[in-house]
Structure 1
Amino acid sequence: MPARAATLADAPAIARIYNEGIADRIATFETRERTADDLRERLSSPQAAQHPAVVIVEAGEVLAFAWSAPYSAREVYAGIGDHGVYVARAARGQGHGAAALRALMEAAKAAGLHKLTSRILTENTPSRRLHVHCGFREVGIHQRHAQLDGLWRDVVTVEVLL
């Protein structure tokens, strides 16, 4: 599946896909929907050069994206990216997530990162399977890591060395 770097023109599609993930309440602790302007700001931020964003496009439509952000502001963690991968509801289960995640891994390595990490809600079995399939290892579970809709949720930390 063709992957490419995300552009500012992709912001509306990325916002739509991300907002589906927010609404599903299984992919992120975020609850506030994002606008295209929010995503343009993220894609054009100074950190975007070292922390890439990629999209999977089919027939001119963005179906999935993956992105990286700094793991921490502390200098000692400069080579680690905290990442996310999201697939449009209508395109899930068709390999777009794996394509996006693999493309992000390549782009992150090319940008000088040596590791990607993330926290996945423990009940998000498709994401956990995807990450293991792409070479990530599950490091451990953080119990009661954060609240979502007033309920404590557990997450599993994943990582891959690039």
Structure 2
Amino acid sequence: MKARPAVPSDSAAIASIYNEGIEDRTATFETRPRSEADIRSWFDGAHPIVVVEAEGRIIAFAATSTYRPRDCYAGVAEFSVYVARSGRGKGAGRIAMLALQDAAEKSGLWKLVSRVFTDNQASLGLLASLGFRQVGVYEKHGKLDGAWRDVVIVELLLPANCR
């Protein structure tokens, strides 16, 4: 497995992986499947996106996006990481996150933040092993399929840019 920066032509593969995550209902509040065009809009030139390939096929991605529009938060980014069902449990998520952390730091970001469902132990374990800190829990943060879901808030400071 090898990570690399994502390019717009990866959008169909990223959409396929993200749509599996949406269907699984374990990692996102989203319920509407995403198209290749939806994913292409993520490529804004400011927020790193990486993919992980195995045997010439994209099996994972990690992406950053705007945290808040205020200038004071310009160095903070939301992140997400998704692994294709066929690639789960093999280290692809770790590879994607390490590559994303490196790309985010090189782009000048100083912090990565996200929210993870409280019962998503695979993601929480991965993030803890990579140094992410659990900041707290948002209770009843949103409804998914009519049920309230709580989320754990996680953050990671990127050392090169926090001095």
Q: Would the aligned equivalents of 2:112 and 2:157 in 1 still touch at CA under 8 Å?
A: yes
Structure 2: distance between partners of 1:158 and 1:62: 26
Q: For the Cα contact (< 8 Å) 2:42–2:65, is it kept in 1?
A: no
TM-score under structure 2 length normalisation: 0.95
1:29 aligns with 2:29: yes
Q: Distance in 2 between matches of 1:50 and 1:157?
A: 23
- Give the drift of 1:50: 2.4
Counterparts of 1:125-144 in structure 2 under 5 Å?
125-144=121-140
Contact residue 114 and residue 161 of structure 1 kept, 8 A: yes
- Report the CA distance between 1:128 and its aligned residue: 0.3
> After TM superposition, where is structure 1 displaced by more than 3 Å over at least 4 residues in a row?
none
CA drift of 1:9 comes to 1.4
**Could you tell me whether the CA contact under 8 Å between 2:49 and 2:62 is conserved in 1?**
yes
Distance in 1, Cα, partners of 2:37 & 2:66: 20
What SS does the corresponding residue of 1:10 show, helix, strand or coil?
helix
Paired residues, number: 158
Equivalent runs, 1:65-104 vs 2, <5 Å: 65-104=61-100
Shift of 1:157: 0.3
Say which of 129, 151, 162 aligns to 1:155. Answer: 151
Q: CA RMSD in A?
A: 0.8
Q: What corresponds to 1:62 in structure 2? A: 58
Identity %: 51
Mapped partners of 1:58, 1:152: distance in 2: 36
CA distance in 2, matches of 1:141, 1:79: 23
CA contact (8 A) 1:50 1:108 kept: no
TM-score (norm 1): 0.95
